[in-house]
């Protein structure tokens, strides 16, 4: 199993290109199931989760052609996928595949909408919490689906097709909103989605569905209206930049000091995280080509942050911010409200010398003068990358084990950091 070795203490200086967003790519690929035409996705990141979803979709009969690099393309430029679900040969998503990646459960809505039936394994819990799917099932029931759960599978049927309806989410759910949008796009009549997730990845999915011929208004607000159509067509869509990758590298620069341009990043996708970094003592500026992050000389100021659905501070940056706060001049408090068990990084950060105490959903972080390298590992990708951030500022060598978590969500992390002066290498095997 690969490991990443980091020797801390170097500031980051230079340019880091930001990849297409993993969490937009996954639902966009799944949206390919809604049409028998070809959906072309550009700016797709090279990530293990994308490859895994390719396997899952091919099990349903979807052909995916990955366009190779063109002359002159940079190593780090995104890939283009041609997704063609001309004939769906299987409406079952088996446990062996769904259990490897939760987001693959989202095939349920499009398969049901297009084929009138679907059988998808329940994804089960994961490292960050129990993560139920009751709200996704509720959304499909509101559109007329008959759903039963049998032997670990969700079996959904809509014999005469789905019908528009009113879906009121009691809690903001990204996956629930993706599911509702994709199913409603092919339902008969109008669907109203209330308390919809406003995450940029939801808006990106809606933009792509609109290009495919869907009639959607209000995406990006908490009230979305979908007027169902009988058929969707192919389209070409470029995946939006990854706001979590952007925020992660911004925090790495805040941690080490230095000056980095995050190329292709868009500030409006992560304003609350950028505001937090400004409070912590960074200089952040939007440029024509991305976001520039610098911290020169000044120390890191402590902060208080609570994770919230978009536009609030994202749970997917909580671990990274905590790593940064381990070196703040004073005591910080981070409250996690989205997932109940998303503090696995705390014990590992402690191995590097961090002082963190947990009290329910609150973490109290007492900044320390220095961190010291150690072998570490984590069981979730955001937790793993928080260890990388801490390691970049730790004295001596840190070995980050179980790198496959990083490969699920960060494209060529060691290249991107290495180009900016970090001492970081992948050790194979």
Summary count for the chain: helices (H), strands (E): 14, 24
Other Cβ atoms less than 10 A from the Cβ of 300: the count is: 23
Residue 420 designated active-site: no
Residue of minimal Cβ distance to ligand EPZ: 175
Q: Which is nearer to ligand EPZ, 38 or 191 (CB)?
A: 191
CB of 137 to ligand EPZ, least distance (A): 7
Residues 276 and 305: their CA atoms lie apart, in Å, by: 8
List residues binding ligand EPZ (CB under 6 A): 23, 26, 103, 131-136, 171, 173-176, 315-316, 338-339, 381-382, 409
Residues 336 and 208: their CA atoms lie apart, in Å, by: 31
Q: Which is nearer to ligand EPZ, 26 or 226 (CB)?
A: 26
Strand 397-401, strand 375-377: pairing: parallel
At residue 26's C-alpha, the angle toward residues 22 and 30, to 5°, is 165
CB of 390 to ligand EPZ, least distance (A): 18
CB of 128 to ligand EPZ, least distance (A): 6
CB of 125 to ligand EPZ, least distance (A): 10
Residues 224 and 405: their CA atoms lie apart, in Å, by: 34
Q: Which is nearer to ligand EPZ, 192 or 202 (CB)?
A: 202
Q: Which is nearer to ligand EPZ, 180 or 280 (CB)?
A: 180
At residue 319's C-alpha, the angle toward residues 181 and 304, to 5°, is 100
Structure tokens at 45: 């990141």
Q: Which is nearer to ligand EPZ, 303 or 381 (CB)?
A: 381
CB of 173 to ligand EPZ, least distance (A): 3
Distances (CA, A) of 320 to 92, 146, 191, 255, 338: 37, 41, 38, 10, 16
Catalytic residue ranges: 126
């Amino acid at each position: 199993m690969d490991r990443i070795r980091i020797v801390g203490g170097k500031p980051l200086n230079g340019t880091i290109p930001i990849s297409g967003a993993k969490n937009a790519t996954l639902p966009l690929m799944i949206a390919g199931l809604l049409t028998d035409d070809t959906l072309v996705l550009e700016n797709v990141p090279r990530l293990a989760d994308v490859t895994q979803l390719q396997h899952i979709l091919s099990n349903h009969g979807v052909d995916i052609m990955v366009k190779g690099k063109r002359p002159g393309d940079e190593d780090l430029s995104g890939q283009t996928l041609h997704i063609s679900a001309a004939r769906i040969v299987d409406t079952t998503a088996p446990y062996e595949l769904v259990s490897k990646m939760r987001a693959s459960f989202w095939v349920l809505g499009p398969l049901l909408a297009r084929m009138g039936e679907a059988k998808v394994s329940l994804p089960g819990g994961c490292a960050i919490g129990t993560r139920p799917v009751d709200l996704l099932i509720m959304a499909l029931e509101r559109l007329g689906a008959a759903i039963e759960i049998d032997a670990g599978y969700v079996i959904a049927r809509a014999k005469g097709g789905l019908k528009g309806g009113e879906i009121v989410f009691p809690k903001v759910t990204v996956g629930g909103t993706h599911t509702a949008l994709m199913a409603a796009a092919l339902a008969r009549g109008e669907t109203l989605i209330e308390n919809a997730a406003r995450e940029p990845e939801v808006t990106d999915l809606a933009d792509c569905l609109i290009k495919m011929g869907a009639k959607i208004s209000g995406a990006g607000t908490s009230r979305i209206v979908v007027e169902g159509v009988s058929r969707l067509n192919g389209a070409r869509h470029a995946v939006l930049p990854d706001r979590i990758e952007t925020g992660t590298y911004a925090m790495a620069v805040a941690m080490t000091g230095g000056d980095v341009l995050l190329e292709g990043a868009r500030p409006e996708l992560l304003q609350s995280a950028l505001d937090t970094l400004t409070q912590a003592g960074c200089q952040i500026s939007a440029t024509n080509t991305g976001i520039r992050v610098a911290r020169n000389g000044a120390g890191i100021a402590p902060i208080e942050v609570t994770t919230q659905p978009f536009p609030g501070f994202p749970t997917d940056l909580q671990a990274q911010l905590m790593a940064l706060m381990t070196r703040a001049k004073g005591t910080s408090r981070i409250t996690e409200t989205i997932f109940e068990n998303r503090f696995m990084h705390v014990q590992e950060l402690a191995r590097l010398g961090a002082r963190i105490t947990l009290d329910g959903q609150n973490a109290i972080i007492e900044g320390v003068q220095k961190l010291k390298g150690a072998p570490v590992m984590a069981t979730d990708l955001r937790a793993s990358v928080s260890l990388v951030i801490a390691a970049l500022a730790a004295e001596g060598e840190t070995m980050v084990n179980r790198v496959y978590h990083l490969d699920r969500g960060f494209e060529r992390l060691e290249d991107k950091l290495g180009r900016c002066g970090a001492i970081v290498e992948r050790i194979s095997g």
